[in-house]
Amino acid sequence: MSTPAPRDDFPILTRKVRGGHPLIYLDSGATSQRPTQVLEAVAAMDRIHNGAVKRGSHLLAEEASLAYEEAREAVAGFVGVGVDEIVWTQGSTSALNLLAYSFSNLAAGRGESIESDRQIRNRMSVGPGDVVVTTRAEHHANLVPWQELCARTGAELRWLDLDEEGRIDLSTLNRINNRTKIVAFTHVSNVSGAISPVAEIVSVAQAVGATTILDACQSVPHMPVDLAKLGVDFAAFSGHKMLAPTGIGALYGRRELLAALPPFMTGGSMVEVVRMEKTTYAAPPARFEAGTMPVTQAVGMGEAARYLHKIGMEKVAAHEEMLTARLLKGITQIPGVRLLGPAQMRERGGAVSFHVEGVHPHDVGQFLDSRGIAVRVGHHCAQPIHQHFGVFASSRASVGPYNTVDEIDAFLESLAEVRRYFRMEA
């Protein structure tokens, strides 16, 4: 069948594995595969254009700097924001930590030399008596940095709870109140696949003047996402989950908020004037990009954004929805397999986690792997939501724009055999 991202673009998908099985890659939620266009853009950077970004007057430095900034432009356009509102990071984890540390630097009074709106600084400054709100659905990357921020500043951490399907329980929205300074939540859960009610959360948070932070790691690669339209203040997403290399990601921040924040990392490239007594910082995004950045990877992420844009994210989303609906229908028909998350496609992304009764997720993963099928097993860096579902770990199938219906059917056929293989049924 034809897929929105042509299979021929992905050399890795032609591999035969584990004794000759065609590779069936259903682990795009963990990391995606890269098309030739991205691999070639990355290789060309190293082969032809490698130079120090913004540090030289020679041709190679100029070419590398241009490619780096054009990549930023492509990524900014891809998520509907300004080019100066995208900060390169190593990934989402590093974007969220950058933010959490910049917040505590602000709380500690750093960056006083930055000319910015005092009201904005006060709004983002957290301390004793203030509350940071997150949710029980978070990946550890959008939970632990906020626990740590609270520990550093004396603020208190609270969270929104989940309903039976793993969706954010709107009756707990009242935990956001006038003591709340930050609301950090996921766009799409990497375990249940549930899409968060962004508009509702943003509106409640805005009403109390709280800063909103969206973990867009599992949405940006799979559906059209316009961060400006969503109205969040900050957002994080990773390159390697959207057909780009590892080691690169982005932090989006509203221009005036980034402008008011002190840096987390300091050193070369993020400064304006350095004297022995005092340093003033460059304007964002440079203020948050200290040292030599992962330039080649950034160029790869820019190319991935262009590639996905060319296909059209509506097409990607429609294809992945069709595959996910098929997965859900199939999984819910297999006896002894429990779905962890919504069974219908309403407000749902493509992470499909499940628990096979009586079989350890690692055994499920190994059995599938012996057939050439790659899925994720474990707690997917999201222990609290697993606790919510009453399991320690699970298995997860997740699709990308290159997966086919036949692959879904082959996976379902193998999954149906798991309990028999492990003698949990006759």
Which spans of this chain sit near ligand PLP (rule: CB under 6 A)? 91-93, 139, 141-142, 186, 190, 215, 217-218, 238, 240, 249, 381
Q: Any idea which residue has 């609906």 for tokens?
A: 325
- 93/104 with CB nearer ligand PLP: 93
- 202/220 with CB nearer ligand PLP: 220
Q: Residue 14 has which token pair?
A: 């032609």
Nearest-angstrom CA–CA distance, 308 and 265: 31
- Of 253, 250, 251, nearest to 211 by C-alpha is 253
**Closest separation in Å from C-beta 96 to ligand PLP:** 7
- 107/217 with CB nearer ligand PLP: 217
Tell me the C-alpha to C-alpha distance, in Å, between residue 110 and each of 122, 261, 263, 297.
13, 9, 9, 31
**Closest separation in Å from C-beta 413 to ligand PLP:** 27
**Closest separation in Å from C-beta 8 to ligand PLP:** 27
**Closest separation in Å from C-beta 218 to ligand PLP:** 5
CB 392 within 8 A of CB 386: yes
- 186/324 with CB nearer ligand PLP: 186
Q: Quick one: CA torsion of 201, 207, 213, 218, rounded to 10 degrees?
A: 20
CB 125 within 8 A of CB 107: yes
Residues serving a catalytic function are 381
Q: Cα-flanking dihedrals φ and ψ of residue 211, to 5°?
A: -85, 135
- 4/221 with CB nearer ligand PLP: 221
- 222/254 with CB nearer ligand PLP: 222
User: Coil, strand, or helix at residue 307?
Assistant: helix
Q: How many residues does the chain have?
A: 426
**Closest separation in Å from C-beta 240 to ligand PLP:** 6
Q: Cα-flanking dihedrals φ and ψ of residue 403, to 5°?
A: -80, 155
Q: Cα-flanking dihedrals φ and ψ of residue 256, to 5°?
A: -75, -25
**Closest separation in Å from C-beta 271 to ligand PLP:** 27
Nearest-angstrom CA–CA distance, 264 and 241: 25
Nearest-angstrom CA–CA distance, 14 and 24: 10
